[in-house]
Amino acid sequence: MRTPDTDCFDVRLTAASMLSNDIRLFELQSVTGAPLPAFEAGASLAVHLAPGLVRQYSLLDDPATCQRYRLAVKREASSRGGSEAMHGLPVGQVLRVSRPANHFPLRPGEGRVLLLGGGIGITPLLSMAHALARQSRDFRLIYYCREARALDLFDDLVGAQWRSRVEKYASCQGVPTRTRLARLGESLAADTQVYACGPAGFIDEARACLQGRVGAQRFFEERFQVDPARTDDEAFALQLGRDGEALWVPGDKSIVQVLREAGVGIETSCEMGLCGTCLMRVVEGEPLHRDSYLSEQERHDGHLIVTCVSRCGSGKLIIDRLE
């Protein structure tokens, strides 16, 4: 069983700038002068913003040469505290972070690689592109955004040696992202590894258009901006263990929230379905997976559930702690 990394240390926010009116770029450096722990392409950093408020953000530089950590964080209108707190941090602030962990690694292989980023979802793909260029792998990075003014936001973070491999499209310019993804799916080589990162809707589209072409074993995803629950979600019955109290999960609350309100202690970290800290066992019922943590096989087996984001597809779920 995978376990969350719990090593923590302090870093200092040494610089920050706005890439747009809602995306802030952060530079973090060692407090002691000692080298920062190394990270892999696709890795993220858990930032401890307050008790119970830990958020994971992708590291976006070249993992091979990095002497600092850089993150880009979008302020979300529906922020549950994380992006709001990040945007309010003053330069000079010391922050507690966890050792970088990789929930979205590049897989070995010789074939082509396609990196698909929806909005701020481009961030882990930037470190992946650096690594792929170093490995001389054949790759493309395609960035999709809504507005034309967002097209150039990340240009300064692109490596000069792989700039020609980057394509950028804004859906407001006439061709919807869904259409572009469908066209991409028609021409994609079947042995391509696809890495998609972005909001849930973007990932769902990318999966629908491309997975049939390359197979589930070559389609990898990381979902950003996952809301623990949406108001249009179905409510369902929940029980902790076969003899546990009967609980009710309304459409606007997550399993984690409902358990906590019932006095059940449950550890979380990212609360975005990325790290697996809140993983529980499914005793009965059908989980509706919304995370980016479980493998395709684990989803299919239906024995595990990421309780900060996932839901129930069968009206009632009985879950229990991992043994």
Work out whether 278 is an interface residue with ligand FES (CB under 6 A).
yes
Work out whether 277 is an interface residue with ligand FES (CB under 6 A).
yes
Nearer to ligand FES, 102 or 268 (CB): 268
SS3 47: strand
Structure tokens at 8: 């923590």
Q: How far apart are CA 206 and CA 204, in angstroms?
A: 6
SS3 157: helix
Tell me, what amino acid is at 169?
Y
Per-residue interface string for the shown chain with ligand FES, residues 281-300, x marking contact by CB under 6 A: ----------x-x-------
Alpha helix positions (H), 75-161: 82-87, 123-134
Work out whether 275 is an interface residue with ligand FES (CB under 6 A).
yes
Choose, by CB under 6 A, the member of 43, 129, 238, 274 that binds ligand FES: 274
Structure tokens at 210: 């491309």
Structure tokens at 77: 């209108």
Residues 6+ apart with CB under 8 A from 119: 74, 144, 145, 146, 150, 198, 199, 202, 224
Choose, by CB under 6 A, the member of 58, 102, 239, 269 that binds ligand FES: 269
Work out whether 225 is an interface residue with ligand FES (CB under 6 A).
no
Site stretch for ligand FES (CB under 6 A), options 5-13, 105-113, 267-275, 311-319: 267-275
33: Cα within 13 Å, side-chain hemisphere? 0
Interface of this chain with ligand FES, residues 117 to 156, rule: CB under 6 A: none
Nearer to ligand FES, 192 or 277 (CB): 277
Work out whether 42 is an interface residue with ligand FES (CB under 6 A).
no
Work out whether 98 is an interface residue with ligand FES (CB under 6 A).
no
Work out whether 228 is an interface residue with ligand FES (CB under 6 A).
no
Choose, by CB under 6 A, the member of 28, 114, 249, 306 that binds ligand FES: 306
Q: How far apart are CA 279 and CA 321, in angstroms?
A: 8
Alpha helix positions (H), 154-273: 177-187, 200-214, 255-261
Least distance (Å) between residue 287 CB and ligand FES: 13
Cβ distance 119 to 19 under 8 Å? no
Site for ligand FES, rule CB under 6 A: 268-271, 273-278, 291, 293, 306, 308
